[in-house]
Amino acid sequence: MTARTGTIAFVPPRFGAEVVGGAEAVLAEVAAGLAGRGWQVEILTTCARDHYTWANHYPPGVERNDDVTVRRFPTVVDTPGEHRWRVHQLISARRRPTITEQQLWLNDTFRCPGLFEHLLDHASDYRAIVTGPYLAWTTFATATVAPDRTILMPCLHDEPEVFLDVYEPMLSGARGIWFLSDPERDLARRVVPSRTARTEVVGAPIVPPPRYDPDRFRTRHGIDGPFVLYAGRREAGKGWGRLLDAFGTAVRREGLHLHLVTAGVGDASIPDDLAPFVTDLGFLDEDDRNDAFAAATACIQPSALESFSRVVMESWLAGTTVIANAGSAVVSWHVERSGAGLTYRNDEELVECFRLVAEKPDLVGSLAAPGRDYVTDHYLPERVFDAMEATLFDWTTP
């Protein structure tokens, strides 16, 4: 057995029990999992909790989180956001920003000088530095300081930003890249055809909950009848607004007897006329969230910007069918491989999916049958950590 020697650093932009974010959650779980296997692990992160403001929330300094050492550094947010808005307008107009404009755009958000300086001084102390997602300032800074020790977990989405020139050196020059799915890897090949970094599709670790209690969830929250669950960030980039529009059409114009339950972070902004049909539960603890997945008739994933989609896996583990936006190549790939869900291409098809849930809930529920086996066959922690460790032994030296 190859020795687990040397320290592995993980650099997520945020870290903490209250942090809701796919990339941050995966990096935190991988860090804890590898620490549990005997690796020395550190988390290098910011003091921020909110990814909208990047305001400092946690105290700076060093703390211990189970088997992991956490080093927090304050964020600096001192720019007005004008460059980001200007570049966004250029991208929307299908114009390519200059490299100078891209660099200004990248730095016109939070920055974390203390973390950058720590890496300048201590990068050589780490056997590998694992960082992501690609859009975060912390990821770019890490890859700039120590590309020869950087393993990217980029969490790529098929969006205009991924094709910006400023990211090409990061994607081509890293020591290696961990992809979460085959479609994410395929996207990277389109973005940087001449990429030289070593790559591996490792997936993300998913731990099956020990139990579910859907009846307790329904009783606690006063929910009867079939309902669709949305769990995640309530924001435009995740498809939240279009989901509300289509659901409104289903219950108002079509008169479907259906309920939408939502849980997560962000402003739900539910219209007054939809309030009787929507229950917003806000942030749920882990047990309540698991029970919500099991109680739902179906789980909706309206986002087209996914590199893995933990929500989909949690739904299938709970025995719940997924209804997903076909615009996401990743989620469509999961649904096609598993056979445990439905995809829709436009709002009209989503309304028809809602009709199926309302009128034939038993049929919809039966579609989830192969989902749990799909998750346990591909994404149990042991399988994912084995793949990650194999690359650590192959790509890095103590």
Q: pLDDT by residue (tens digit) across 11-41?
A: 999 998 878 667 999 999 999 999 999 999 9
Q: What is the pTM of this model?
A: 0.92
User: Which of 338, 339, 355 lies closest to 347 in space, CA to CA?
Assistant: 355
Q: Are 332 and 343 in contact (CB under 8 A)?
A: yes
How far is residue 216's CA from residue 378's CA, in Å, rounded to a whole number? 30
Fold (topology level) of 7-75+110-205+380-395: Rossmann fold (3.40.50)
Residue 51 has pLDDT above 60, yes or no: yes
How far is residue 97's CA from residue 90's CA, in Å, rounded to a whole number? 7
DSSP string, 356-389: HHHH-HHHHHHTTTTHHHHHHHH--HHHHHHHHH
Indicate the pairing of strand 298-301 with strand 278-280: unpaired
How far is residue 160's CA from residue 88's CA, in Å, rounded to a whole number? 9
Question: If you average pLDDT over residues 66-95, what whole number do you get?
Answer: 90
Q: Which CATH superfamily is domain 214-377 in?
A: Glycogen Phosphorylase B; (3.40.50.2000)
Counting every residue written for the chain, the total comes to 398
Q: pLDDT by residue (tens digit) across 126-161?
A: 999 999 999 999 999 999 999 999 999 999 999 989
Q: Are 61 and 44 in contact (CB under 8 A)?
A: no
Residue 195 has pLDDT above 70, yes or no: no
Q: pLDDT by residue (tens digit) across 386-395?
A: 999 999 999 9
How far is residue 46's CA from residue 241's CA, in Å, rounded to a whole number? 30
Residue 249 has pLDDT above 90, yes or no: yes
DSSP string, 170-220: HHHHSSEEEESSHHHHHHHHHH-TT--SEEEE-----PPPS---HHHHHHH
Residues ≥6 apart with Cβ < 8 Å to 383: 203
Q: Are 258 and 250 in contact (CB under 8 A)?
A: yes
| Separation of CA 225 from chain center | 30
Q: pLDDT by residue (tens digit) across 206-234?
A: 999 999 999 999 999 999 989 999 998 88
Look at residue 3 in the predicted model and tell me its pLDDT: 81
What residue segments make up the domains of the chain, in order of their start? 7-75+110-205+380-395, 214-377
Between vectors from CA 290 to CA 289 and to CA 291, what angle results, nearest 5°?
90
Question: If you average pLDDT over residues 322-350, what whole number do you get?
Answer: 96
pLDDT band at 342 (very low <50, low <70, confident <90, very high): very high
Look at residue 21 in the predicted model and tell me its pLDDT: 67
DSSP summary character for residue 56: B
Look at residue 266 in the predicted model and tell me its pLDDT: 84
Instruction: Give the range among 36-40, 106-110, 291-295, 335-339 with minimum mean pLDDT.
Output: 106-110
User: Which of 201, 161, 142 lies closest to 13 in space, CA to CA?
Assistant: 142
Residue 301 has pLDDT above 90, yes or no: yes
Residues ≥6 apart with Cβ < 8 Å to 331: 301, 303, 306, 309, 312, 322, 324, 325, 343
Q: Are 179 and 188 in contact (CB under 8 A)?
A: yes
Look at residue 1 in the predicted model and tell me its pLDDT: 54
pLDDT band at 92 (very low <50, low <70, confident <90, very high): confident
Question: If you average pLDDT over residues 252-267, what whole number do you get?
Answer: 91
Residue 67 has pLDDT above 80, yes or no: yes
How far is residue 270's CA from residue 32's CA, in Å, rounded to a whole number? 37
